[in-house]
Chain A
Amino acid sequence: MRQTRSPLRRPTAAGWLLIGSGLFFVVTLLVLPLVLIVSSAFSAGWALFTKNLLEPDMLAAIRLTLWVALLTVPINLIFGTAIAWCVTRFDFPGKKILLAFVDTPYAISPVVAGLCYLLLYGNQGWLGGWLDQHGIQVMFAWPGIVLVTIFVTSPYVARELIPLMQAQGSQEEEAAVLLGANAWTLFRRITLPNIQWALLYGTVLTTARAVGEFGSVAVVSGSIRGHTNTLPLQVQLLQQDYNSVGAFTASLLLACIALLTLLLKTVLEYRQQKTLS
């Protein structure tokens, strides 16, 4: 059983030493990089910052990145919720195996993930030949990017919901069924309000990862300028072009999304705790 949380203490002299060294690492590893991104993006003034931002290639990368996230997030939301529902509300043979597959993407290097999809949908791949005959291009086009992004972000929603739904149990839902609620009413009126903040955080996390995925997308996108370049790939491209300010401009956009994610996480976790208590 979970014991009551031991209260925070006032630090002793040794405690201050630990806090000092901990904060030293937080500042050098986490705060300074953020400061550097902002200062580098604006190092040549506002005019160049806006010019970099409005480059056609940059705008195309932003559009593609948003498009990928827009397709990835709802798909993972629906299937992630379904998986969480079925593993927390029912017992069935093979549940452990199902959960192991949910976690598999965590253990796979992004480049290896990209390779898996390339071997499947590429020109010489299992499905690639058939798709090619029917004029459908998956690899080196946006559908491939969407597929690997779904793969990489697939555990987040389910992993966010499972511990919460396990802790809540299903008594309220069973009561609703006994009172005659149908499946949709049950989900909308009982389950959804209980998990809404965690679900929202799962969405935020999926969005952040979908926008920032690099390794697997680099394998399947072909990095065609202005066509299949997502924002993180644009960072690399600009860096290779020795356009450091441009690379940091794209980085700043991505860093803002990351910071927004952290902010929302704090807010949503607080709301979820309030719903629970």
Chain B
Amino acid sequence: MKGSSRVLPGFRLSLGLGVLYLSLIVLLPATTLVMQAAQIRWSELIFYFTDPRLLAAIRVTFFAATCAAMCNALLGLLLAWILARYEFPGRKLADTLVDLPFALPTAVAGLTLSALFAKNGWIGQLLAPLGVEISFSIAGIILAMTFTSLPFVVRSLQPVIEDLAPEYEEAAECLGANRLQIFLRIILPTLMPALSMGTALALVRSLGEFGAVIFIAGNRPFSTEVVSLMIYTYIGEYAYGAAAAVAFFLLLVSLLILLFVQLLQFRFRARANP
């Protein structure tokens, strides 16, 4: 594994190709955005970020993405648990279907969910008498975000649950712990690193989600507009300065969330092996 001797061929070639590719495809475009954002004057920045319509969109996006990430943490825990633990008819099929949100184009997901949960839709008409409206409201945004990032938590938890050694649970049971205590004190702490990682990925994905959300949100200014749609609107109006500023803000928040979770992983690891 250690390549100090570099017995294997192709180091220069593969490194060269990799660096060239990443520079052209990732680094150059990302740098362009950062440079564009760096040229914005403070006065302009204040002007952009005091626009009540943008502030409302930021509020809606962060609220919905946080709710979606929470839903995903719970639903992902449930799905990963039953898929990794129990034998039941349809397990294989359910396991395969969990990846559907990654395979299905977001536009298709948005269109279909909005039809399904509209007032006259298959599920929407069951909810309408209860006064619950999903399509064209913030609940719809949360639903779309939950759908598109569903696999993150399930797929990061599943291998950890499969690897859980049964001895600890058995020991706790012998010592008289009840099921809830076993779950909260033994199982959940073991799952925390993977759970927090999956939830953070889901949160980042939800913050930037565009395709699925715009089909179901209704996109009314001040109430159901998301940040990515605001960027899209700015681009359509050739307001590249505003678009770059908001895009840079979104990118920064996403990177900070990922950084925070990485640091959290170190904490978990330190606690596991002191």
Contact = CB atoms under 8 A, between A and B. Distances in A.
A26 B1 contact: no
Given A36-B122, A112-B250, A25 B75 contact: yes
Contact of B247 (A5, A31, A111): A111
B250 to A, nearest CB: 6
A18 to B, nearest CB: 5
A40 interface: yes
Interface in B1-50: 1-4, 6-11, 13-15, 17-19, 21-22, 25-30, 32-33, 36
Interface residues of B, number: 93
Question: What DSSP secondary structure best describes chain B's contact surface?
Answer: helix
Contacts of A266: 92, 96
A82 B147 contact: no
A265 B92 CA distance: 13
Which of A16, A106, A109 has most B Cβ within 10 Å? A109
B197 to A, nearest CB: 12
A177 interface: yes
B84 to A, nearest CB: 8
B188 interface: no
Contacts of B244: 115, 119
Contact of B116 (A32, A112, A120, A183): A32
A5 B163 contact: yes
A251 B94 contact: no
Nearest to B165: A3
Interface residues of A, number: 105
Interface in A73-122: 78-79, 82-83, 85-87, 89-92, 98, 101-102, 104-120
Interface string B157-171: 000001111100000
A130 interface: no
B251 interface: yes
Contacts of A19: 82, 86, 88
Interface in B59-113: 75, 78-79, 81-83, 85-88, 90-92, 94, 96-101, 103-109, 111-113
Interface string A10-39: 110011101101110110111111101100
Interface string A134-161: 0000000000000100110010000000
